[in-house]
Amino acid sequence: MRTLLQAATDYAISYLDGLGTRSVAPTPEAVDRLKVFREPLPDGPTDPAIVLRLLDEYASPATMAMAGPRFFGFVIGGSLPSALAANWLAGAWDQNSALYRVTPATALLEYVALGWLLDIFGLPAACGGAFVTGATVANFTALAAARHAVLAGVGWDVEANGLCGAPPITVVAGEEAHPTLLKSLGLLGLGRRRVVRVPVDSQGRMRPDALPPLPKPNIVCVQAGNVNTGAFDPIREIAPRVHAAEGWVHVDGAFGLWARTAPSRAHLAAGIEDADSWATDAHKWLNVPYDSGLAFVRDARTLQAAMAVTAEYLPTASEERNPSDYTPELSRRARGVEIWAALRSLGRSGLSDLIERTCRHARRFADGLTAAGHEVLNEVALNQVLVSFHDPGTTLRVIADLQAEGTCWCGSTVWQGRTAMRISVSSWATTDADVERSLDAILRIAARHRR
Ligand SMILES: Cc1ncc(COP(=O)(O)O)c(C=O)c1O
């Protein structure tokens, strides 16, 4: 076992060492070589060292260098060394981190991390919290608590009786809500299409003047950080109206919530503390390994009411917090350990530096592109940049050439009818030099396509 695990460490270290110099996208040749895996299941065992070597030889070169410093697609962080190392160790522990009495170390680390997270986000210390797989499930989890609470408010027990015959809930979200928020609502039986959508402004921010009537029971979902523009819904204006109507305010802050930890960006997320529940990702801006998301609910009892289970064979009775009392899963890996390690190693100043630095990089991209005469479509207040290279065809050709050239990787989007390239700077590993090198590549390729 020692030799095998040592080999895995060596492979992983040389993989990470090579990320700065290899093409960010895998080459077509590397992807072609993946065909080695298309084989029937062997009849007998294979030496684990050979199994591992297959992965290193054929899979590693065909990965996208998402853990590297110049991947700017989607909203994707790398893995902080502290978080990756903690992930390896926690993997070796292999704890089913559901119940304190069975897995006290990981349950306690998660509890401590929860307290730190509520502190850095400026949310009430008594919030319930769930460590889940990502923002999609974090939205699902928090909205399950919302569904419980608003129906309990009109005398309906949704956990016992389901939704058949329940009073209808008015659910509201902005026109630019993330599609996974609608998916989460659909999974909760609240319907993707019956959500009342609120018109937005040029940055995708919900227009508070366009908020619909809010009969009881109701849930209003606001967004902190639009995936294209980085913009925040004006929660300061929305929350009091929802609360006056005895409704529930939920914040999808998949990455935007982290703005709260950076002095120069915190104003963007002002008022978010007035909501009833929040969802965010740790695998985006905190830079912990996949998969890692977080849900927080002001009234912890509502989250527990939606999620906790008991059984004779489970030692659920405990003075201490049971992680699975708050999550859709019972059996679960101890993903709180990586979050604890990331926060413990960064400290407050390291975390705010990470957020400030990536926002600064985004600003540099925007300034460099604008100076070269390209149109930046969004107000670059956070870590997202949208740039158009004239017409849709040219923009898509620039993106395709950039991805093939390999210096960096950016994706495409259509923002309010305009085809654009997205640059999302979320990785701890990106340096000023990486930004300059990537900007040079983008400008060089765009110049080739200039009309
Ligand atoms: C605002 C928002 N909500 C939800 C999600 C979904 O997050 P995940 O893919 O971690 O489930 C994203 C992903 O980018 C997002 O930007």
How far apart are alpha carbons 206 and 224 in whole angstroms?
11
Residue to mutate, 132, 281, 335, 422, ligand 1, most ligand atoms under 8 Å from C-beta:
281
| Residue bearing the CA closest to ligand 1, atom 12 | 254
pLDDT of residue 451: 67
Nearest to 168 by CA among 177, 156, 186: 156
One-character DSSP codes across 361-390 = HHHHHHHHHHHTTPEE-S--SSSEEEEE-S
Per-residue exposure over 115-136, b if at least 16 CB sit within 10 Å of its own CB, e if not: eebbebbebeeebbbbbbbbbb
Report whether residue 135 contacts ligand 1, using a CB cutoff of 6 Å. Answer: yes
Residue to mutate, 76, 132, 136, 250, ligand 1, most ligand atoms under 8 Å from C-beta:
136
Encoded tokens for 253: 């802050």
Q: Measuring CA to CA, how many Å separate 434 from each of 280, 353, 368?
A: 27, 17, 14
Closest atom of ligand 1 to 253 CA is 1
Report whether residue 252 contacts ligand 1, using a CB cutoff of 6 Å. Answer: yes
Distance 175 CA to ligand 1 centre (A): 16
Distance 76 CA to ligand 1 centre (A): 10
Encoded tokens for 170: 């008015």
pLDDT tens, residue by residue, 234-289: 999 999 999 999 999 999 999 999 999 999 999 999 999 999 999 999 999 999 99
The distance of Cα 17 from the centroid of its chain, to the nearest Å, equals 25
Report whether residue 184 contacts ligand 1, using a CB cutoff of 6 Å. Answer: no
Encoded tokens for 238: 């929305």
Report whether residue 75 contacts ligand 1, using a CB cutoff of 6 Å. Answer: yes
Report whether residue 227 contacts ligand 1, using a CB cutoff of 6 Å. Answer: yes
pLDDT of residue 450: 81
Closest atom of ligand 1 to 224 CA is 1
- DSSP annotation of 342 reads H
pLDDT tens, residue by residue, 95-144: 999 999 999 999 999 999 999 999 999 999 999 999 999 999 999 999 99
Contact 265, 231 (CB under 8 A): no
pTM check: above 0.85: yes
Those residues of the chain that have pLDDT short of 50 are none
Closest atom of ligand 1 to 74 CA is 14
One-character DSSP codes across 2-39 = HHHHHHHHHHHHHHHHHTTTS-SSPPHHHHHGGGGG--
pLDDT of residue 441: 98
Report whether residue 299 contacts ligand 1, using a CB cutoff of 6 Å. Answer: no
Distance 115 CA to ligand 1 centre (A): 23
| Residue bearing the CA closest to ligand 1, atom 15 | 254
